[in-house]
Amino acid sequence: MRCVPELEVGPEERDQCRSILQTLLLWVVSLPDNLRDGLTAQEVAEAAWLQDDAVGATAQAEHLLEVLIQSGFPVRKEKKSRGGEEVAVYTYETSVVQANPVKFFAPLKKKYLQDLKRLDEKWIESLFWDVTMLTPEAQAELHVDGGIFGKCAPNDLRTQSERASNAPIRFSFPHRSGASTRRVHKVAYGGEIVVCDHWLEEFGEEIKHSDQHFRIVYICSKPSKTDEVITSALKDTRIAVCHAETLKQETRDALADLLAAQEMKKNCAAPNQGSLREYAETKHNAAIKAILKCQLVHRF
Amino acid sequence: MKKSSVHSPLRLPDHPSQQFELEMEEVDLPAKIAASAPEPTGLSSKQLSIQDALLKEGLMAVKLSATCRSLADLHLLLIDNLGQNSLETRRRYVQSITKWFFPDGIDGLLPKVWRAYADEAIIIDLLRWSYLAQEPVMGACVADALFPLANGIAVPPAYFDKFLANYLNKPPPEKTRERLKINLKRLGFLERARGKPDRLLPVIPQKTSFLILLHHIFAPRSMRAVELRTLFTNLFWKYLGYKSEDEVRTGTRSRSRRT
């Protein structure tokens, strides 16, 4: 009941929500388990003395019960047969999982630890993070402004709705960008950086542009080809190829933490789940720092 | 091996990357585009130049407005009271001040709030909101580029340039790049010190400012219920300085309990 003030409804409706919750709770504690069959919206409206001249008490009860369910209140809706007709009945959920954040977080982490493909995708995404992903603490401690390839991030091909639903990033690979060495005796050598998630034969082709003096190819995930095959495909001595190895368990742990925290934040969006979101946020920030540390320590 | 001179197109900015020995090539940023163009009072969509945010002058104007009957009176008073030597500059400033802070006239929100509260802290919050609401590029910068950053973060040198290049769809002029940062400092969002990276500062608005704007934007004529999701779609809370929806939600709850 303490969370009722957080509901996004008007003051009068908030009082009605409180009455509904009180009615459902009294009903559930006053009957043994086997006699609880739930209350219909009409019964709730009558028992809670709801009044609404505009839409009628029953419709108002239905509306507020939906609001309560969507806002994460412990109200359960079930379809039951009453007199041969299927109706929705509502009960106060007494066995609801308490707001222990670990109970939300742990199953999600377990799920993601088993999803190696998603972990690999998240790893590639993390390589291109920018400063918006960082906390000041992580920035100060690690001396970074994002992922190790943050400055040469490819375009994100996701649609707006895919972004909103936190779908995995789809990068436009291979991504090529210009680079140059630092100035040495007033001279800088220009070259090319190529980032891709797999090896392509074209990366090994001879550098033809006269202003390009090197090509560095970063393969973000472990390529299917062996080092010998890749080396034999290099047709110019000014090409270097760096590739990632299989992720270490420590990195996978951090990636699973991040994915679980992101999903938990999304799942716990109800107004009364602020403490769960805070927990998820803490986990999220810690995971980002851990992933960036893995990038710096393990490198390529 | 051929050598390319430092003047080659592949030349990079002076700031060394912390993670790469090699410098990644950022967007080439020609410094002179539109630098000599006349400065209009504000930015129409995708305009290249930005004018200084005149918050100090705006505060003075709001105070002076209490004694004025019309905007014309205020214009005359401002032209007399602004500190700039050039009459042309004062006239231009008056135009900007009117556009940013008196869009609803001499009896608009800011003069009314000053007459009711006479509180500089509240007026400064409202000046910030009003300016950002009237200046699209600055508003977008606060809502899109600054909002996702955590308070206290050191902003990389190219971050705002990248935002401007994306927003304008072309490389931003040097003057615009610099003015954007100066204005963010004036608005209280950015700490700038010589030889150090720009740092994002927390902007803590007055609770009263939030309430005033809430009523002004959502219930200008009469009482009504506003869903939080509707409230969040308006950027005013970001302009005020709030960093998360939860912060607004908590604040709204504590205020509604008190009232």
Residues B229 and B196 in one domain: no
Q: Please check whether residues B118 and B144 belong to one and the same domain.
A: no
Compute the nearest-CA separation of A90 from chain B (Å). Answer: 25
Q: Which residue of B has its CA nearest to A190?
A: B10
Q: How far is B143 from chain A (nearest CA, A)?
A: 13
Are A8 and B11 a contacting pair at CB < 8 A? Answer: no
Band (pLDDT 50/70/90 cuts) for residue A181 is confident
How are beta strands A85-92 and A75-82 bridged, if at all? antiparallel
pLDDT tens per residue, range B205-217: 999 999 999 999 9
State how far the Cα of B55 lies from the Cα of B197, in Å rounded to an integer.
24
pLDDT of A280 strictly over 90: yes
Look at residues B168, B183, B200 and tell me which one is the last residue of a structural domain.
B200
**Final residue in a domain of this structure, among B86, B104, B133:** B133
Mean pLDDT, chain A, integer: 88
Q: In angstroms, rounded to a whole number, what is the distance separating the alpha carbons of residues B200 and B188?
A: 9
Whether residues B184 and B167 fall in one domain: yes
Which of A14, A67, A131 best tests the B interface by mutation, with the highest count of B CBs <10 A? Answer: A131
pLDDT digits (tens, 9 = 90+) for A116-132: 999 999 999 999 999 99
pLDDT at res. B37: 34
The reply to whether B75 falls in a domain is yes
Angle at A151 between CA B145 and CA A244, to 5 degrees: 130
Which residues of chain B does A179 touch, with a Cβ-Cβ cutoff of 8 Å?
10, 12, 20, 22-25
Are residues B59 and B129 both part of a single domain?
Answer: yes
Of the residues B167, B200, B233, which one is the last residue of a structural domain? B200
For residue B25, being part of any structural domain is answered with no
Residues B66 and B119 reside in one and the same domain? yes
The crossing angle, in degrees rounded to 10, of helices B55-65 and B71-81 is: 130
Give residue B45's Cα distance to chain centre: 15
Torsion of CA A23, A24, A30, A32, to 10 degrees: 170
Residue range A226-274, pLDDT digits in tens: 999 999 999 999 999 999 888 999 999 999 999 999 999 988 887 767 7
d(CA A128, CA B101): 41
Q: What is the pLDDT of residue B41?
A: 43
Q: Test A132 with B156 for CB contact under 8 angstroms.
A: no
Secondary structure class of A83 (helix, strand, coil): coil
Find chain B residues with C-beta within 8 A of A182's C-beta. Answer: 16, 21, 23
Residue B40 maps to a domain: no
Chosen for mutation from A4, A8, A275, A289 (greatest number of chain B CBs closer than 10 Å) is: A8
What sign has the CA pseudo-torsion A18, A22, A28, A29?
positive
pLDDT at B17 over 60: no
B220, part of any domain:
yes
- Are B120 and B77 members of one domain? yes
Selecting from A131, A136, A216 the residue whose C-beta is nearest the C-beta of B159 gives A131
Question: What number is the ipTM of this complex?
Answer: 0.71
Burial of A50 (0-12, 13-18, 19+ CB in 10 A): buried
Alpha-carbon separation of residue A193 from A176, A179, A235 (angstroms): 6, 6, 17
Q: Which residues of B touch A277 (CB under 8 A)?
A: 246
Rounded to whole angstroms, the Cα distance separating A283 from A277 reads: 10
- Check if the beta carbon of residue B54 is closer than 8 Å to that of residue B97: yes
Would the CB atoms of B25 and A178 count as touching at under 8 Å? yes
Single pTM value for the model: 0.70
The answer on pLDDT for B186 being more than 90 is yes
Residue B82, domain member (yes or no): yes
Query: Chain A partners of B246 at a C-beta cutoff of 8 Å?
Result: 274, 277
Same structural domain, B140 and B129? no
> 3-class SS at B38?
coil
Angstroms from B97 CA to nearest CA on chain A:
33
A161-178 tens-digit pLDDT: 887 777 888 898 999 988
Three state DSSP letters for A193-257 = EEEECCCCHHHHCCCCCCCCCCEEEEECCCCCCCHHHHHHCCCCCCEEEEECCCCCHHHHHHHHH
Is the same domain home to B118 and B153? no
CA atoms within 13 A on the CB side of A275: 7
Range of the domain at B172: 135-200
Q: Is residue B106 part of a domain?
A: yes
DSSP run (H or E) holding B131: helix B120-134
Are B88 and B142 part of one and the same domain?
no
B34 within a domain of the structure (yes/no): no
Task: At A83, list the tokens.
Answer: 């007199």
Indicate if B222 and B196 belong to the same structural domain: no
**Helices then strands, each counted (H, E), chain A:** 10, 7
B251 and B185 within one domain: no
Using a pLDDT cut of 70, give the percent of chain A over it.
93
Domains of chain A: 4-92 (1.10.10), 102-298 (no CATH)
Q: Which of B1, B11, B253 sits opposite A180 (nearest CB)?
A: B11
CA quadruple A86, A90, A96, A101: dihedral, nearest 10 = 100
B128 in the same domain as B156: no
Number of domains in chain B: 3
Residue B30 in domain: no
Contacts of B15 (CB under 8 A, 6+ apart): B157, B158
Q: Where are the beta strands (DSSP E) in A72-182?
A: 75-82, 85-92, 175-180
